[in-house]
A and B are shown apart, each in its own frame.
Chain A
């Protein structure tokens, strides 16, 4: 087990840069996710770490060993794919034993470690089955057992849960988290599912356009995004623009969003990102609240979603628990939206 270091890793196809200088370090036993929309370069980074793609520049280290140009079989990694990628012509046992046999382990040791790995993914007794006889979730657990059995230095996951249906995905998330913390293997996890990334990882790297925009703890990514992309990609926050005045955002039309953004000079064009759960709906005027009218109401079980139109024409989406008083509001009614300045993320408008 060891840490993983990327130094200014670049991948170019012709003139297009798919990954533009990725530099980060994953500490020993740490779980880091790369999160981003498709085509952002996250899978390219993973494939370069795996040795399936050659970087156009920069270097990759596993522990203190430089592996930038080494083929995958010389890197001591474990790979888990979205497609499971099991060997269909081998039994579950042989699949898991594959890596151990390549290391020329003793047969008794192979049997012991295959059984141990299968036990870890709760598939003891499935050794003699073929992959096609297993469900998708079971196949993915075999793939994990196969990846961990040879005790790799680094585990790489390429959207491993995306092919599973929703309920199974939640179950597998817990399983994966448990497995990773038990083994404490350095892990790089690639996904486009933000809930998955936030709940599993020690740190999350949000990627866009070949650049890691922010690499931080999940809470920091959620509450303190560094730029508009991260702020709008994580969750679906309301986004309103205005001009800075004394640390608050002036939307015009007598509407001011109080914030704690003293670092932005008066007159700066800025945007506020407000999480849907940070807004409190009141039916009577409150000091500092924004006045608006309910434009739409939609019920989704545990929550009622209200779209509130402000005087400026801007619309804010608010989630209200369906048991709350505000859930009974109907379109056309006047409401006041209260929010704590602490919950408002204000960022200077990007040009």
Chain B
């Protein structure tokens, strides 16, 4: 058998599942996204309209949700990166005795159900939740802080949930980085801080980029946590798509939003992989 044929055979089970369960339904959604929708009657068969897409860019409400999703994605990514890099650095470069404990600490939340973790945040962040009660009791605040049903709640919840992904990607990047290069820099008169900024950071750029892509994509497509911490009114694209399909039965609009989300994701991945190549000089 030629290597090419055996390669095809090896990927064929996955390809079959992907084709039947992913590509075909996705293709079927393309015509749906161009159909007209009449409230009370549903989809008009055979119709063609660009209205569903136009609305995303013109309707103030839709635009706000798209923007909010993007801001959320960028903010969660930045928070995860800023909080994750020191942890990853400590895991790889710190005392080997802490390595296992720290790694477990990072991975442990992944073993809990997403709903349970989001619910935990509700218990902490709600108006009469633990955080607000504590702050009121010690007299720091008079009225409860609004920590849920807004950007704050989503940022806290999603950063917590996606931090492990970022840390694991950064740990891999730091482990792959040759130590000799840092030693060479310091022998040339570069202080520890300068070594970090001029060598360590650029050489772990591929890990930073892939971790960021992962966290960004997971954040903008997250459904459960935004729904639980944002409630029914504070919408992001994923919750909006869900509502269009399940509550309003407006499939054309839901499909158009889905494609908008997918295009945004692909655009970000394409852009950042170009950036990696440029920045790190490592293809």
Contacts and interface: CB of A to CB of B under 8 A. Distances in A.
Interface of A: 50-52, 71-73, 75-79, 81, 83, 85-90, 98-99, 102-103, 130, 132, 143, 146-147, 150, 156
Contacts of B192: 71
A35 to B, nearest CB: 21
Interface in B171-229: 178, 180-181, 183-192, 194, 198-199, 202-203, 205
B61 interface: no
Interface in B72-103: none
A92 to B, nearest CB: 12
A86 B181 contact: yes
Interface of B: 178, 180-181, 183-192, 194, 198-199, 202-203, 205, 279-282
A86 B202 CA distance: 13
A81 B203 contact: no
A89 B192 CA distance: 19
B183 A50 contact: yes
A132 B280 CA distance: 12
Given A89-B203, A89-B280, A102-B194, A79 B181 contact: no
B180 to A, nearest CB: 4
Main secondary structure of the interface of B (DSSP, over half): helix
B189 A103 contact: yes
A128 to B, nearest CB: 13
B183 A88 contact: no
A51 B187 CA distance: 8
A146 B181 CA distance: 12
Complex A-B, nearest 5 residue pairs according to Cβ-Cβ distance, in ascending order: A99-B188, A102-B189, A85-B180, A89-B281, A79-B187
Contacts of A50: 183, 187
Given A85-B184, A89-B279, A73 B191 contact: yes
Nearest to B279: A89
Nearest to B180: A85
Nearest to B281: A89
A88 B283 CA distance: 11
Contact of A79 (B184, B194, B280): B184
B186 A87 contact: no
Nearest to B280: A89
A83 B181 CA distance: 9
A89 B202 contact: yes
A150 B188 contact: yes
A87 B181 contact: yes
B100 to A, nearest CB: 20
**Central interface residue in B185, B188, B202, B279, by most chain A CB within 10 Å:** B188
